[in-house]
Amino acid sequence: MKLLLKILFSILAIFCTNISEAKTVLYSEVIGPALESGDELFQNGNYALAGIAFTYAVADIFTLGYASKYKIAAKGGTELFNFGKTAAEHMANSGRKVPIQILKDVIKNTKGLPDPGGSKALMHYTQLWKNGKIYNLEILYDKASNSIWHFKYTQDPLGPLLEIPK
DSSP state of 99: -
Separation in Å, CA 117 to CA 37, 87, 89, 98, 122: 36, 16, 21, 22, 10
* pLDDT, position 61: 46
* pLDDT, position 153: 96
Which residue(s) pair with 83 in the sheet?
148
Confidence of residue 17 (pLDDT cuts 50, 70, 90): very low
- Number of helices (H), then strands (E), belonging to the chain: the values are 6, 7
Which residue(s) pair with 59 in the sheet?
none
Which residue(s) pair with 125 in the sheet?
138
Could you read off the pLDDT of 65-78 as tens digits, one per residue?
333 334 554 434 45
Phi, psi of 154 (to 5 degrees): -160, 165
Could you tell me where the beta strands, DSSP code E, fall in 11-103? 66-67, 71-73, 79-83
Could you read off the pLDDT of 79-101 as tens digits, one per residue?
588 888 889 889 888 889 998 88
Residue 135 reports pLDDT greater than 90: yes
- Whether the CB-CB separation of 158 and 138 falls below 8 Å is answered with yes
**Which strands sit side by side in the sheet containing 147-154, from one edge to the other?**
66-67, 71-73, 79-83, 147-154, 133-142, 122-130, 113-114
Phi, psi of 108 (to 5 degrees): -70, -35
